[in-house]
Chains A and B, each alone.
Chain A
Amino acid sequence: MLDKKIYDMPKSTDLAWCPGCGNFPILNIVKVALAELDIPPQNVVICSGIGQAAKAPHYLRVNYFNGLHGRALPPAIAIKVANPRLTVIAESGDGDTYGEGGNHFLHTIRRNPDIVNIVHNNMIYGLTKGQASPTSEKGLKNPIQTEGVIVEPFNPLAVALALGATFVARVFSGDVTQAKEIVKAAIRHKGYALVDILQPCVVFNKQNTYQWFKEKTYYVDENYDQTDKSQALDIAFDLERLALGIIYQSEGRPTYETLTRAGDAPLYKMKPDRKALQNLIEKYK
């Protein structure tokens, strides 16, 4: 096991998160999971989009691709395919992943690359100051829907299951001990793994607070069958009681990088095969 300190940034690093933010424990969860799995920083790439959650890769020592809003997943796929030896994590918020990047969310699941998709789900837009996110509950009052959100919330677990995701989990940022085990399982999982992390936004979301999550959530028990998809769907559709844990997992589906590549050598080592090219050019005679 590695010491999680190897992921620590210098003490002087200025973190742009608010005091009491759910992002802090999530950062810790990721560090502990990587350390306990013995993955050195050089072998990790975290891809993120834009938002407070998407700043996460700046606060731990790994490789990172902090790209555009909603676009954490496309580079994550390509990085995994280009170098399958890397542990690739796409980490962003609910707005980034389920809103702006919704199309990529859908089609990344269909591809099943061996990556982990960590979504900080605080059911609100923080960085843009308190507007509704795709996962905001109906009726949540905010600066734009002044009478409350009028559209149905996006259901990431149900959507992921419907698209054939091979690993679907929900955790709560307030429970680091359980959450890091689930993140570890997600990293070990061969294929696309969704970890939706419920997290309060202490500044803008006065409805979904620490207390609210504590009351609403429960862990699936030991006898829960993680391979039972219809049961998983029932759980995903239950918005009254929010289940935590690995809701669904299935092994054995080929990953995108194995489907698109003959081998797993990093592409940065490849050189053009000019001889094969000469042979190909001959065919145009």
Chain B
Amino acid sequence: MKRFSGDISLVLGGAAGQGVQTVEALLVAVLKREGYNVFACKEYMSRIRGGSNSTSIRITDKKQSAFVKRIDFLFAMDRDVIPHLQERITENTILFGEREKVCKVSGECHIVNVPFAQFVRELGNPIYTSTVTVGVALGLLGADEEIFETYLREHFARKGEAVVQKNIEAARKGYAFGKHLAYHEGIEVHLVKDKAVADEILLDGTEALGLGALAAGCNYISSYPMSPGTGLLTFLAQQGKNFDVVVDQAEDEIAAINQGLGAWYAGARAIVTTSGGGFDLMTEGISLSGMIETPIVVHIGQRPGPATGLPTRTEQGDLNLVLHSGHGEFPRAIFAPGTPAEAFFVTQQAFYIADKYQMPVFILTDQHFLDSVTNLPKNILQNVKFKNHIVKTMADYKRYTLTKDGISPRGVPDYGEGLVGVDSDEHDEEAHITENAGTRVAMHEKRLRKIFGACDEALKPSEIGDVKKSKTLIICWGSNFGVVQEALRILAGDDVAGLHFAQVYPLPKNAKKLFAKKKIIVLENNSSGQFANLLKLEYGVKITKNILKYDGAPFSVEEVVQKLKQILLDEAL
């Protein structure tokens, strides 16, 4: 008897084009609808067909949103999966696949034969492999077959009854086989269903950003495709139709950012999306935004660099790039959401701050975050009150009026009697070129002053555990929120707590006191501790240890627990 309870790690692996992502989407959707908490993340190669990709799905009694290294059930669609995932496979992993395909590479692990090829022959088309696979998994987990069939009916309805029937046939075949396997292999799965979960929504990072952009009144996107930032462009192209979002596929990232600025200048609310390499090209536009005080919101889905790097993998290596991008000195703000709900919120906040303070604002995510999907109650999606900061101009309007807080009322052409000029040269209040030193200093200081307001509105970090009582603080930002939360839950000591920053610049002044008299460990997906260095600079805090990872993979819960234990042990000595 092999008993699995409360937290299952099910991994699907196969070559690109073998439907791994289809299986994931189906399986996760059905499981959520049945009332199971799910979290799924994926890793894939930079190719269209072949290679070896995998998706890791966690099915848990408690909500979890982190990657675990452990694999309980591995569905291998081809033999390459096994060497590809070798480091994660143990003698406790049960491998489901076609015995003759996988036995040579399976090593110690237990193989359960699933005759995929036979099913496909019986169903008459390899297209049904995905549905069969989902069926096998659901049968194995002891999920409700009826909910699965209802889902398939809805999902395939627009493809016609014949397709629906065929999928249901495939589902039943798979499900029956999965049930049989569970019985035959003595696999017992215990998972708690929660009715409330069935009613929740499923979002990945990209969708959460996209919905946040729509909530923020985003009505313009110009971008050039680059993984993993492309998803937001695709989302707004597909879902933005009902919201009148203008979608422009730019000739290059330079055009994208300059279009974004043109759109904001004319009163639109624009976002551009890219990854580090594309962002390199945009940086002249960031500097332009700083000078002309035209807002812009930039989403950067990070992947490992330098240069082309690992195009489909994950990293947090571009914080410094974003922090220092663009020549000259000007204010900016940077957000780094850690959950879909945070992404929904900070995207709106990014538009609000960009609009109000007339500065470039960044949303820094990464491949792991964008591609991870989880269930959440829809009422935790928090709206930021919509406000458009543009003003109607009078005949004597001056675009760059000197003000105390640095914010000059922003007019747009065709709205009011005034004329609206913006100028990339140093300029006077009327936006005309100047080389007058006094004006330069006044304008420069006016622009820089805006950071104080933005700093006052900076988001506080989320506290994980009892920060006040703790002696050691583990700090994270962006996509590592989930893994740190779970690791701290496992360690379950009063001595250690965590802080997660969903805004990494400017840092809220009042959060500095949270660091007082504590040992500080900063965990991030890069090799130089970029956020740790920023904390040193901004808060003047001493960093006790860095936990860093830069192999292109996200942190696993096991890894973080082990590293933290080691550090706590070392520090105690």
Contacts and interface: CB of A to CB of B under 8 A. Distances in A.
A106 interface: yes
A103 B432 CA distance: 28
Interface string B535-561: 000000000000000000000000000
Given A78-B260, A79-B266, A65 B422 contact: yes
Interface string B239-274: 100111011101110111011111101111110000
Given A42-B414, A64-B421, A74-B258, A267 B266 contact: yes
B43 interface: no
A55 interface: yes
Interface stretch (B89-97, B215-223, B454-462): B215-223
Nearest to A283: B201
Contacts of A285: 33, 199-202
Contacts of B263: 78-79, 81-82, 267
A63 B222 contact: no
A22 to B, nearest CB: 20
Given A64-B422, A67-B258, A86 B244 contact: no
Dominant SS among interface residues on chain B: mixed
A165 interface: no
B200, B255, B262, B386: which has the most chain A beta carbons within 10 Å? B262
Contact of B262 (A16, A43, A76): A76
B242 A276 contact: yes
A189 interface: no
Contacts of A82: 220, 246, 262-263, 266-268
Interface in A57-102: 57-58, 61-68, 71, 73-79, 81-83, 85-86
Contacts of A79: 262-263, 265-266, 413
Given A64-B421, A66-B425, A82-B262, A280 B200 contact: no
B273 to A, nearest CB: 16
A261 B424 contact: no
A66 B417 contact: no
Given A82-B246, A284-B207, A65 B269 contact: no
Contacts of A11: none
B265, B418, B425, B431: which has the most chain A beta carbons within 10 Å? B265
A74 B219 contact: no
A270 B246 CA distance: 12
B421 A66 contact: yes
A282 B388 CA distance: 26
B266 A262 contact: no
A267 B201 CA distance: 30
B244 A68 contact: no
Interface string B180-205: 00000000000000000001111100
Contact of B419 (A61, A81, A107): A61
Contacts of B239: 280
A55 B433 contact: yes
Interface in A159-212: none
Nearest to B242: A276
B203, B417, B432: which has the most chain A beta carbons within 10 Å? B432
A65 B215 contact: no
A107 B260 CA distance: 16
A273 interface: yes
Interface stretch (B167-175, B284-292, B442-450): B284-292
Contacts of B383: 274
A63 B419 contact: yes
A68 B284 contact: yes
A283 B424 CA distance: 44
A73 B424 CA distance: 15
B484 interface: no
A63 B258 contact: no
A107 B251 contact: yes
Contacts of B252: 103
Contact of A277 (B33, B215, B250): B215
A68, A262, A266, A282: which has the most chain B beta carbons within 10 Å? A68
A266 B214 contact: no
A100 B269 CA distance: 27
Interface string A256-285: 000011110011111111101100111011
29 contacts: A42-B417, A47-B262, A64-B421, A65-B292, A67-B292, A67-B424, A68-B424, A71-B258, A71-B284, A75-B258, A78-B222, A78-B266, A79-B262, A81-B248, A83-B412, A83-B413, A260-B246, A267-B269, A268-B266, A268-B390, A272-B214, A272-B215, A272-B216, A272-B243, A273-B243, A274-B215, A276-B242, A284-B202, A284-B207
Interface of B: 33, 199-203, 207, 211, 214-217, 219-220, 222, 239, 242-244, 246-248, 250-252, 254-256, 258-263, 265-270, 284-285, 288, 292, 378, 381, 383, 386, 388, 390, 412-425, 431-433
Q: Which 8 A-B pairs have the closest CB atoms?
A: A268-B267, A75-B262, A78-B262, A74-B258, A82-B266, A272-B217, A107-B251, A267-B268
